[in-house]
Amino acid sequence: SYIGEDGGEKGWPKRFPFCGGAFQSPIDFHSDVLQYDSTLSPIELQGYNVSSGEQFVLTNNGHSVKMSLLPSMLIRSLPSQYTAAQLHFHWGNRNKQEGSEHTVGGKHFAAELHIVHYNSDRYPDLQAAMDKSDGLAVLAVLLEIGSFNPSYDKIFHHIQNVKYKDQETFIPGFNVQALLPDQLDEYFRYEGSLTTPPCFPSVLWTVFRKPVQVSEEQLLALETALFCTQPDDPSPLEMVNNFRKIQEFDERLVSVSFR
């Protein structure tokens, strides 16, 4: 949980020691920690344009809303090949739409998309990779309020069908790359962790510099429709503010692909 008697995220390390350990995410990107790296090449994807004959599964897992991805979807531009497993979101609430996990110069964005991949050169699946230091690569997109985004609506349109924990629905294939900003060459890169328990320090993070716009109505659909609880629960718990606080970033640097 992000709130509650157990201290919310402050209580995570008791049951999940890695959450109190090193290389934790998310972090703030401010000028003191940024270092230009000319070797960071544009992110290259393969198989992201999925035909409408294929299907994704959208699930309310009680912490977020996640969509399964296909094993044919790959990141090609990293030293190992990484295969897509799922994508999910983090967001705030209707009064304070500051729900991104990563921040830039201390500033929160409205929400954040994470596309989780595992190192398929070395591991058979996400489960086997998630506790390995070279196991995961997450692509992150910062979301800000602006114009209506038809690509994001291909997911948000189905949120009504997964209002409660453990509900699932199918989404026809679409071009998942259209969820990313146009500039795949400008990003922040660092080694960090899963932002939820068990907080394994296994993630190579790529956070795109340019945010993507979604409309306020679209964001509200995410913020108001979902519950952490099952339909028969007498005290429904809204799924809001499912972002982790900024973590300490001592003696680490963030590589940036842009000047």
Q: Is 88 in the site for ligand SG4 (CB under 6 A)?
A: yes
The binder of ligand SG4 chosen from 50, 69, 116, 162 (CB under 6 A): 116
Report the partner that residue 86 touches, choosing among ligand SG4, Zn ion, none (CB closer than 5 to 8 A by kind).
Answer: ligand SG4
Distance CA 94, CA 100 (A): 14
- Catalytic positions, written as ranges: 63
Query: What is the smallest separation between the CB atom of 27 and ligand SG4, expressed in angstroms?
Result: 12
Q: Which two tokens stand for residue 115?
A: 């596309």
- The reply to whether omega before 26 is within 30° of 0 (cis) is yes
Q: Is 132 in the site for ligand SG4 (CB under 6 A)?
A: no
Q: Is 202 in the site for ligand SG4 (CB under 6 A)?
A: no
Q: Is 102 in the site for Zn ion (CB under 5 A)?
A: no
Distance CA 34, CA 249 (A): 12
The binder of Zn ion chosen from 66, 114, 117, 244 (CB under 5 A): 114
Q: Which two tokens stand for residue 205?
A: 């993070």
The smaller minimum CB distance to ligand SG4, of residues 128 and 253, is found at 128
Q: How many CB atoms lie within 10 A of CB 259?
A: 6
Sign of CA pseudo-dihedral 224, 226, 229, 232: positive
**Single-letter code of the amino acid located at 236:** P
Distance CA 77, CA 124 (A): 20
Sites of contact with Zn ion (CB under 5 A) = 114
Sites of contact with ligand SG4 (CB under 6 A) = 61, 63-64, 66, 86, 88, 114, 116, 130, 138, 194-196, 203
